[in-house]
Structure 1
Amino acid sequence: MDIEKQYQSMVGNLLPYGPAWNKTEPILLTLALTLSKTHLRVDDLMREIDPRTTTELIDRYEQICGLPDSCYSEQFQTLTTRRNRLDSKLNLTGGINKDFYLQILAINGYPDATITNYNNNVFTCESSCDDYLYDEEWRYYWIINIPHNYQITEMTCEDHCDSYLRTWGDKQIECIIKKLCASHTYVIFKYGVSNA
């Protein structure tokens, strides 16, 4: 039974008993139609509350959250991208740990990305051969490994002579991570590797 017929039945059942009342009165049918439309509109509003499913209120949500920010170009955003960014801004609990950054990467399309931290121990002559060769300053560096080559652009004959031979990367995710990383750390992005 559809929602309009349910409201017709409910309105009809609210009438007092007796021959003076007709359940098919046009005003009652109109009232049932109005109630069913209101009900469906409330259902739409309930879907709008969740930033992952919002459509009508997305501009308002973005205004409240300060989006789009400098990491996103307004002209290249899809509705899904906007919803994902809004969801990550509103619903992710922050933290300065791998799990938090891996969640951010997954929401933005990199579920297979990994993070490598440099070892805190300084390499000495007593270190094992698989220890890192970095000094103490490198404990503030960390690597985001993105396994597939993303947006690789090769230089062509039509490019200017001062153009890069090859460019790659996703400036959007790099911007997001750099905004969220701790201020005393440095992030290195590696594309086309699974682990460094």
Structure 2
Amino acid sequence: MGLTAADYLELCQNLTPYGPAWPREPEAFVTRLLDGWAQEFARIEARIDALIEEADPRTTIELLADWERNYGLPDECYPEAATIAERRGRLLQKIAFEGGQSKQFFIDFVAALGYPGATITEYKPFKANSKCNAALNQGGWRYAWLISVPASSTAVRFKANSRANEPLTRFGDPGLACILAKYRPAHTILYIGYGA
């Protein structure tokens, strides 16, 4: 807890000379002048204490927009978060994100996005030294990979209050496709399968 205005007033009065020209009574002009300064010093100290909270992304409120701007939020892949807590959560995820290119990284990454149980299949082209039962496919599959996410987490089913032109079942998540396309290795071709 910082100093109060009364504490600052006492400090200011202790810096003035002693004598009848420097009265310390509450109604004296010099005391009222020093009290104005003391109020401002206390206000400035309170603002400094508040800025310490703003330096931490877990507690920021006033500087949250600046934190988000510095980390590229809101992301083009997902809509803007509605609450301060959601915005802080996305900010903390972005700060903690280290990246990677391994299978396990992408499995953990999509699990953190709400798709647990995903699997990854990497395709390899058929070569002269491939096994006899290996699948025949084109050379372009060398850089292709498939991430399969459970259908239960991505299926949107037709309901009684749905519009007549909506499909009976719709799969996919444009936000997931966007963010995976953003973080996939640049030389690869990514496919997403729903219903693993």
Q: TM-score range by the shorter chain?
A: 0.5 to 0.7
**Partner residue of 1:93?**
98
Determine if the alignment matches structure 1 residue 56 to structure 2 residue 54.
no
Give the C-alpha shift of residue 165 in structure 1: 1.0
Residues 89-168 of structure 1 correspond to what in structure 2 (within 5 A)?
A: 89-97=94-102, 98-99=104-105, 102=108, 106=112, 108=113, 110=114, 113-118=116-121, 124=131, 137=141, 140-143=144-147, 145=149, 149-150=152-153, 152-156=155-159, 159-161=163-165, 163-168=166-171
Question: Which residue of 46, 52, 66 corresponds with 1:46?
Answer: 52
Q: Contact 2:119–2:148 at 8 Å: present in 1 too? A: yes
From the superposition, tell whether residues 67 and 119 of structure 1 become closer, same or farther in structure 2 (CA, over 3 Å): closer
Distance 1:44 1:64 in 2: 20
What amino acid maps onto 1:27 in structure 2?
L
Give the C-alpha shift of residue 160 in structure 1: 2.6
From the superposition, tell whether residues 104 and 125 of structure 1 become closer, same or farther in structure 2 (CA, over 3 Å): closer
TM score, norm. by length of structure 2? 0.61
RMSD: 4.2
Identity of aligned residues (%): 23
Aligned residues: 179
From the superposition, tell whether residues 155 and 61 of structure 1 become closer, same or farther in structure 2 (CA, over 3 Å): same
Deviations 1:145-191 (A, max 9, x none): 46x93464322455335x32112554323322221111314142546
Deviations 1:91-135 (A, max 9, x none): 5333323347735753x5x3x7355333678894689xxxxx897
**Partner residue of 1:30?**
36
**Partner SS, residue 152 of structure 2:** coil
User: Runs of 5+ in structure 2 lacking a partner?
Assistant: none
Give the C-alpha shift of residue 32 in structure 1: 2.9
**Partner residue of 1:9?**
7
**Partner residue of 1:130?**
none
Q: Contact 1:105–1:173 at 8 Å: present in 2 too? A: no
TM score, norm. by length of structure 1? 0.61
Structure with larger Rg? 2
**Partner residue of 1:70?**
76
Question: Which residue of 75, 85, 88 corresponds with 1:83?
Answer: 88
Determine if the alignment matches structure 1 residue 176 to structure 2 residue 179.
yes
Q: Contact 1:115–1:143 at 8 Å: present in 2 too? A: yes
Distance 2:178 2:189 in 1: 14
From the superposition, tell whether residues 64 and 139 of structure 1 become closer, same or farther in structure 2 (CA, over 3 Å): closer
From the superposition, tell whether residues 115 and 149 of structure 1 become closer, same or farther in structure 2 (CA, over 3 Å): closer
Question: Which residue of 177, 186, 189 corresponds with 2:190?
Answer: 186
Deviations 1:42-86 (A, max 9, x none): 233233333443332333444455443431334x64333333334
Distance 1:9 1:117 in 2: 65
